Structure formats: C-alpha cells, structure tokens
Amino acid sequence: MLGALEAGQAPLVAGRLDLARVGALGYSVGGSTVLQAALMDPRIAAVVNVDGALFGDPVDRLGSHAYLLISSREAFPSPAELASPEPAVRNYALLSAIDLPRNQQRIERPANYWIAVEGADHDDLSDALFAWSRAKMLRTNAARGAMNAAIEGYEVAFFRDALLGEPAALLALLGGNHQTVRRISSASPASGAASARQ
C-alpha cells in the first residue's frame, strides 16, 4: 500500500502525505494485521489495535512502533466465561485470556497504551455501536455518543502524539478520570486477568 502511494498510484493524495511516518488502525482481525504491517515496514510508526486478537508475528515480536490497544469488556474473560459449557463462549474467552499477558507485555514499553471501553462489547467498537439491537435497546444515544467520542478522542490524540510530537491531548486523556474509558496499566492487572489462564 505505501509502495503504491510512493509510486503515485493514488493521484488525489500524491505529494500530500508524509510517508516517512505513518499511522495504521485496524479493528478486530485488522488489529493484528496492522501490527504485522508495522513489523514489516518501519515507516509505520504508530498502530491502533481496536479489540483485535494477536496472531502471527505480533504474538512474539513487539516492534519499535508506538501502540494503542482499545479493548471491549470481552478482552477480560470472567471465570464463568472461561468454564462455559458453550464452546463459542469458552473458546473466545480462552483466546482472550491468552492475549492478556501478551498485551500487558506490550504496554510495559514507553509510548504504548491500553484502554478499555467500559460496558462495550466487541461490536460496539465498530459502526455497529449505532445499530439497534434488542439486547442493548435500553442504551441511550447519549451513552453511544459518549462511547464513540471517547474512542475517537483517544485514537486522534494517540496519532497526534506518536506522529506529530504533540502529546498534550493524549496526556490530558490519560491523566483524566473518565466514566466511559478505563486505562489499563502494566503495574496493575486488568479486571479478569487474575482468573485468566492460558
């Protein structure tokens, strides 16, 4: 992709992008995909993984890029989910449990962060947040808007810091007290992490 842009194959943006420092964002499977891309191309200096499980090289290789993980509540499986008689629930929980220590290791590094969107399911971190569902029909538009604004705010602030050297907005978010977002630190385990096992 970056090679095609360098070669001028996208004339509408030719000469308008700084291809020396690029940010990449991926949702779900795309989260690990952009991590893989950053491992392959050092011009990708910052990666946002939106609720994506780790697979391939990103499982064992950290890379030198800045990293922001945005998780749903499903990233922190409960003991009941880990022992569920439902194979789909149990297997999803076990995969999430395997990723917990890997993600903790990533955020031990400078310029790497992890936030959890309180009460959000995996689909809530996509456009499905605004889709009507019977299971979430009591969620207000204000709550949806707050979730969306928090996600967008962190993504933009992270990229401004990592790519433009403008840390003020990200530092304000990380230092604030939010009802919608909880910061996961490397010093304290994420909720559910104590019972999560590989």
pLDDT for the residue 191: 56
CB 99 within 8 A of CB 116: no
pLDDT for the residue 143: 87
Does 196 have pLDDT greater than 50?
no
Does 175 have pLDDT greater than 50?
yes
Q: Could you give the C-alpha distances from 129 to 6, 27, 144, 179, in angstroms and in order?
A: 35, 13, 7, 17
Which residues lie across from 68 on neighbouring strands?
A: 48, 113
pLDDT for the residue 195: 41
DSSP H helical ranges for 108-196? 141-164, 168-175
Q: What is the CA radius of gyration of the chain?
A: 18
Does 9 have pLDDT greater than 80?
no
Residue whose structure tokens are 């970056």: 2
Q: Could you report the per-residue pLDDT of 109-134, keeping only the tens digit for each? A: 999 999 999 889 899 999 888 887 77
**Which of 9-18, 49-58, 168-177 is predicted least confidently?**
9-18
For the chain, domains (ranges, CATH) are 18-184 (3.40.50.1820)
Q: Could you report the per-residue pLDDT of 41-97, keeping only the tens digit for each? A: 999 999 999 999 999 999 989 989 999 999 998 899 999 999 999 999 999 899 899
